[in-house]
Amino acid sequence: MPVVVPAFSRIGEENAFAVLARATALAQAGRDVINLGIGQPDMPTPPHVVEAAVKALQDGHHGYTPATGILPLREAVARDLDRRLGVQVSPDSVMIVPGGKVTMFMAILMFGEPGAEILYPDPGFPIYRSMIEFTGATPVPVPIREENGFAFSAEETLALITPRTRLLILNSPANPTGGVTPKAEIDKLVAGLAAHPDVTIMSDEIYGTMTYDGERHHTLLAYPEIRDRLIYLDGASKTYAMTGWRLGWSVWPAPLYDAARKLAVNSFSCVNAATQWAGIAALDGPQDCVAAMMAEFDRRRLLVVEGLNKLPGVSCITPKGAFYAFPNISETGWKAKALASALLEEAGVATIGGPDFGIHGEGYLRLSYANSAENIARALERIGSFLEGNR
Ligand code: PLP
């Protein structure tokens, strides 16, 4: 019998995919299930982006590209960062990867080994911890607290750094909380990091275009003092509703770029060529599609927060970013995972229990509002009736 190496006993998964599979199975069995579990926009990719991919295929872009991605796309990424965030990066520091996840995979592989400590947000994207454990490094959760508006705390983060800390993972706007860390807190963190020059930072800014209430996105790329040890993670999945295309990009400091390139050569070779041309159309094309999507998400965000705060035992702060609400359900008397499971099986509403995002997620549920306003309203009604009937 084939036996894989022990590291595979430590690798985890994303429960969102298991919830999606269960919701789909229930729907196929004839149940009416409303899915607020999945973390992807429910809108289609903008038509001009699809057309660019079709044209690329018709124009004969069928072969391998450079492992780091085609230069016109790396240039488009640099232009986008300049336009949107006012930061300058060289296209030679940009790497095109098959989805945002691949940047975190590479970064964690580069710094994770037994004895190393890696700091990551908790609650946070589950793959951080899973990959850290896979490498044998010690995962060190940085608590993300409701009382801080689900922003990370510079003080608490810095206090967790030890001589063994190799990598610090940051994420704002954040999954699963929708939290956005204010600039003052990032300033404080960067100032404190001066005392820890051997700590590399990976900033996951995949939701960087998704902020509300006039809140601006503050990128870690704007701090020259850490640029030589900053890995910037971004991609097209969320901003341009392109999760299935598998298109991400990252910015690497020079000493790490070649290591990333070698990982690409040893694994995926390059991102699908037509997808890369579609990426150029997304970044350089009209951005009103992004604005329209955000206006729709904003409308739903207010609807979901208002509805959640009317439910017995539930309170929800208004998320400032991404497309998730992270209500506190601790007063309902339910444990989060039991509630998520009961809501799916008995009320036909898919959500994710907070503990699937880390130990500090107990007492919370994640609801994605990437579903129609009508379905969100129906889901809230179902959750309300369920909670009333199961006090
Ligand atoms: N980072 C965060 C915080 C995410 O929530 C996700 C997707 O849900 C990703 C990265 C991965 O994105 P991609 O689908 O581009 O791999």
Q: Is the pLDDT of residue 110 over 90?
A: yes
Structural domain boundaries, residue 34: 6-44+288-386
Provide the mean pLDDT of the chain: 97
- Tell me the pLDDT band of 94, cut-offs 50, 70 and 90: very high
Residue at 55 is within a domain: no
Q: Say what the pTM is.
A: 0.97
CATH number at residue 353: 3.90.1150.10
Residue at 1 is within a domain: no
- Same domain, yes or no: 263 and 328: no
CATH number at residue 232: 3.40.640.10
Residue at 13 is within a domain: yes
Residue 186 is encoded by which pair of tokens? 């990032």
Report CA(194)–ligand 1 centroid distance (Å).
29
Q: Are 36 and 367 in contact (CB under 8 A)?
A: yes
Q: Are 327 and 314 in contact (CB under 8 A)?
A: yes
Report the distance separating Cα 376 and Cα 36, nearest Å.
8
- Same domain, yes or no: 117 and 212: yes
pLDDT at residue 17, as a whole number:
86
Final residue in a domain of this structure, among 248, 263, 284 = 284
Q: Where are the alpha helices (DSSP H) in the chain?
A: 15-28, 47-58, 71-85, 100-111, 126-135, 154-159, 183-193, 254-265, 273-284, 288-309, 336-342, 373-389
Report CA(101)–ligand 1 centroid distance (Å).
6
Report the distance separating Cα 337 and Cα 125, nearest Å.
16
Q: What is the CA angle 230-231-233, rounded to 5?
A: 140
- Same domain, yes or no: 177 and 77: yes
- Residue 371 Cβ inside 6 Å of ligand 1? The answer reads no
- Same domain, yes or no: 302 and 272: no
pLDDT at residue 38, as a whole number:
86
- Same domain, yes or no: 95 and 164: yes
Q: How many CA atoms lie within 13 A of 338 on its CB side?
A: 9
Report CA(331)–ligand 1 centroid distance (Å).
30
Report the distance separating Cα 270 and Cα 39, nearest Å.
25
- Same domain, yes or no: 263 and 343: no
- Same domain, yes or no: 272 and 360: no
pLDDT at residue 15, as a whole number:
85
Report CA(384)–ligand 1 centroid distance (Å).
30
Q: Are 314 and 328 in contact (CB under 8 A)?
A: yes
Q: Which one, of 203, 185, 281, lies nearest residue 240 by Cα?
A: 281
Phi, psi of 146, deg, nearest 5: -60, -40
**Number of domains forming the structure of the chain:** 2
Residue 105 is encoded by which pair of tokens? 């995979």
Mean pLDDT across 343-353: 96
Residue at 78 is within a domain: yes
Residue at 58 is within a domain: no
pLDDT at residue 86, as a whole number:
97
Report the distance separating Cα 137 and Cα 114, nearest Å.
5
Residue at 277 is within a domain: yes
Report CA(284)–ligand 1 centroid distance (Å).
22
- Same domain, yes or no: 300 and 376: yes
- The fraction of the chain above a pLDDT of 70, given in percent, is 100
**How many CB atoms are located within 10 Å of the residue 255 CB?**
10
Report CA(206)–ligand 1 centroid distance (Å).
6
Final residue in a domain of this structure, among 233, 253, 284 = 284
- Same domain, yes or no: 205 and 168: yes
Q: Which one, of 370, 338, 350, 373, lies nearest residue 33 by Cα?
A: 350
Measuring from atom 5 of ligand 1, which residue has the nearest CA? Answer: 175
Residue at 252 is within a domain: yes
Q: Tell me which residue has tokens 């098959």.
A: 98
Dihedral sign, CA of 150, 219, 159, 164?
Answer: positive
Site to probe by mutation for ligand 1, drawn from 127, 237, 326, 366 as the one with most ligand atoms within 8 Å of Cβ, is 237
- Same domain, yes or no: 331 and 242: no
Each residue of 224-266: pLDDT tens digit?
999 999 999 999 999 999 999 999 999 999 999 999 999 999 9
> In this predicted complex, what is the ipTM?
0.99
Report the distance separating Cα 53 and Cα 275, nearest Å.
6
- Same domain, yes or no: 319 and 378: yes
Q: Are 249 and 95 in contact (CB under 8 A)?
A: yes
- Tell me the pLDDT band of 39, cut-offs 50, 70 and 90: confident
Q: Which one, of 227, 228, 246, 226, lies nearest residue 236 by Cα?
A: 246
Mean pLDDT across 159-186: 98
Atom of ligand 1 nearest to the CA of 235: 15
- Residue 138 Cβ inside 6 Å of ligand 1? The answer reads no
Mean pLDDT across 332-353: 96
Atom of ligand 1 nearest to the CA of 236: 15
Phi, psi of 335, deg, nearest 5: -80, 145
- Tell me the pLDDT band of 16, cut-offs 50, 70 and 90: confident
- Residue 237 Cβ inside 6 Å of ligand 1? The answer reads yes
Q: Tell me which residue has tokens 């506190």.
A: 328
- Residue 248 Cβ inside 6 Å of ligand 1? The answer reads yes
230-235 and 200-204 strand pairing: parallel
- Tell me the pLDDT band of 99, cut-offs 50, 70 and 90: very high
Q: Tell me which residue has tokens 């444990």.
A: 335
- Tell me the pLDDT band of 5, cut-offs 50, 70 and 90: very high
Final residue in a domain of this structure, among 225, 257, 284 = 284
